[in-house]
Amino acid sequence: MDFLWGRLCGRSVGRLADVPANFDEGVVGTVTDRTAMVSEVDDRLIAKLDEIAARRDELNVLMGDPAVAADPQRSIALAREAGRLGRLADPHLEFRRVRNALDEALSILADSSQDPELRQLAAAEVDELQARHDRMLDGLKELLVIGEDAAITSVILEIRAGTGGDEAALFTRDLYEMYLRYCERKGFKVEVLDQSGGDLGGLKEIILSVKGPDVYRCLGYEGGGHRVQRVPETEAQGRIHTSAATVAVLPEPDEINIDVNWDTDVEEFVSRAGGPGGQNVNKVSSAIRLVHKGSGITVSMRDEKSQHKNRAKARRIMLTRLHEAEMRHRTSQRDSTRRAMIGSGDRSQRIRTYNFPQNRCTDHRINLNLYALDRIMQGELDDLIEALQTHDKRERLKNL
């Protein structure tokens, strides 16, 4: 009530005779309608936000503990968690203030024994408070379901040729060029970490580092099997062939908390790189292959002439793959569509089809057909990705 009394005392109050005689009748419907609107708010969402705010408060208390302050590693971890939760906890506090004010206004409207002037003021405040409440709740929902992905500003993008021989390698090259154009349009920074060429100018495999704001929100849906239907460059009789490639998008957080002892946990094999690059690649053992003993994950790197640079790149990719494997294990019941990224590369394991004769791109996860394949292959992926984002947000809200 303090909220409305403050507003009441700050304005001139008219005579009681000015209050309409049918004021009670006019606000009964308003109170009923507004109460129903507030009651429709997802209680699970509010409870989740309350938990986040409570955890942030708990972290602030812990960081003030001298014993914790004496442990730099723990202090950094707690500060990082508090900062991440703060993106939700701070707007949640403001939302709570508005929600309490709205509840107060509705309570006054529902109480006929309250001062008529105060009830008039409450009626005037309800519309504004309800609008603010709804806007803030929508914003919190957005933060809650995308906040974790939005915090990732670096990914490893891997594209590999699947079924289809030379045509699959050519399709892999086309996918790489499509993503490269999209990243250029979005202002993302792209670095080629490794690549393996195929015949006829195709690519058997290419591994990219992509950095930029919202990069995982934009590219995180691309993981899976991609199928192409078209007349290959190698086809003399004009027959349509089907080939495939697989794409993986691995988040690369600023800090990857994976403990790896490179001497005992990983086997390292060194060899000559081979291929183009002059006599140096055939004389110097610069190619690196790492095998993680526990998981069997293997990374090969021969892109650089320097053994040290290849080792650094290989370890970076290894950490990213180990991190992804750990996250997939932790979240095996969540986001299954986005996590199960790499299949065998077979045509039957597909998330998307690129049909060139029909100029059609079909995303099978959301049954979306876009007859604009020519523009999509030029990197105009916004309509496709926005549809996936909308669907993913809706599904995540259902599962809160």
72 has pLDDT over 50: yes
pLDDT tens-digit map of 161-216: 998 888 999 999 999 999 999 999 999 999 998 888 877 889 999 999 999 988 99
362 has pLDDT over 90: yes
- Mean pLDDT, range 393-400, rounded to an integer: 76
Confidence of residue 6 (pLDDT cuts 50, 70, 90): very low
Is the CB of residue 165 less than 8 Å from the CB of residue 232? Answer: no
Task: Please give the Cα distance from 251 to 255 (Å, whole number).
Answer: 11
Highest mean pLDDT among 2-11, 58-67, 110-119, 337-346 belongs to: 58-67
Amino acid 108: pLDDT: 85
Cβ count near 184 (within 10 Å): 12
| 199 membership: H or E segment, kind and range | none
Task: Please give the Cα distance from 326 to 125 (Å, whole number).
Answer: 50
Domain extents for the chain? 2-150, 153-331+339-400
* Helical H segments across the chain, by residue range: 2-9, 23-39, 43-63, 66-69, 72-110, 116-150, 166-186, 215-219, 280-283, 307-330, 336-339, 373-376, 382-398
Q: Which residue has the tokens 């957080």?
A: 253
CATH of 153-331+339-400, one of 3.30.70.1660, 3.20.20.70, 3.40.640.10, 3.40.50.1110: 3.30.70.1660
Confidence of residue 38 (pLDDT cuts 50, 70, 90): very low
Q: How far is CA 259 from the centre of its chain?
A: 25
Confidence of residue 374 (pLDDT cuts 50, 70, 90): very high
Cβ count near 100 (within 10 Å): 12
Is the CB of residue 232 less than 8 Å from the CB of residue 239? Answer: no
Amino acid 121: pLDDT: 83
Opening angle at CA 338, ends 331 and 150, nearest 5: 80
Confidence of residue 347 (pLDDT cuts 50, 70, 90): very low
- Mean pLDDT, range 257-275, rounded to an integer: 80
Q: Average the pLDDT over each of 5-14, 83-92, 382-391 and give the range with the smallest value.
A: 5-14
- Mean pLDDT, range 118-141, rounded to an integer: 85
Q: Average the pLDDT over each of 6-15, 147-156, 160-169, 250-259 and give the range with the smallest value.
A: 6-15
Pairing verdict, β 298-301 and 154-161: unpaired
Task: Please give the Cα distance from 183 to 379 (Å, whole number).
Answer: 8
- Mean pLDDT, range 373-378, rounded to an integer: 97
In the chain, % of residues over pLDDT 90:
26
Identify the DSSP state of 253.
Answer: -
Interior/surface letters 80-89, b for 16+ CB within 10 angstroms, e for the rest: eebebbbbbb
| 202 membership: H or E segment, kind and range | none
Task: Please give the Cα distance from 125 to 249 (Å, whole number).
Answer: 48
pLDDT tens-digit map of 40-60: 446 777 788 888 888 888 988
Task: Please give the Cα distance from 96 to 77 (Å, whole number).
Answer: 28
| 332 membership: H or E segment, kind and range | none
Amino acid 184: pLDDT: 96
Q: Which candidate, 256, 324, 212, places its Cα nearest to that of 80?
A: 256
Confidence of residue 275 (pLDDT cuts 50, 70, 90): low
Amino acid 253: pLDDT: 62
Confidence of residue 393 (pLDDT cuts 50, 70, 90): confident
- Mean pLDDT, range 126-136, rounded to an integer: 88
- Mean pLDDT, range 380-400, rounded to an integer: 87
DSSP per-residue string spanning 99-131: HHHHHHHHHHHH-TTS-HHHHHHHHHHHHHHHH
Whole-prediction pTM: 0.64
Structure-block tokens of residue 57: 């408060």
> Higher-confidence residue: 285 or 386?
386
Opening angle at CA 206, ends 205 and 209, nearest 5: 155
Amino acid 259: pLDDT: 76
Task: Please give the Cα distance from 153 to 232 (Å, whole number).
Answer: 36
Amino acid 359: pLDDT: 97
Q: Which residue has the tokens 């995180």?
A: 220
Sign of CA dihedral 137, 139, 140, 141: positive
Q: Which candidate, 160, 167, 173, places its Cα nearest to that of 377?
A: 173
Amino acid 342: pLDDT: 39
Q: Is 377 helix (H, G, I), strand (E, B) or coil?
A: coil
pLDDT tens-digit map of 135-161: 888 888 878 777 777 778 889 999 999
Cβ count near 322 (within 10 Å): 22
127 has pLDDT over 80: yes
| Side chain identity at residue 282, one-letter code | N
> Higher-confidence residue: 215 or 73?
215
Task: Please give the Cα distance from 140 to 135 (Å, whole number).
Answer: 9
Q: Average the pLDDT over each of 32-46, 62-76, 253-267, 358-372 and give the range with the smallest value.
A: 32-46
Q: Which candidate, 146, 30, 113, 73, places its Cα nearest to that of 395?
A: 146
Structure-block tokens of residue 270: 């060194």
Q: Average the pLDDT over each of 212-216, 244-248, 283-287, 302-306 and give the range with the smallest value.
A: 283-287
- Mean pLDDT, range 301-321, rounded to an integer: 85
Cβ count near 308 (within 10 Å): 10
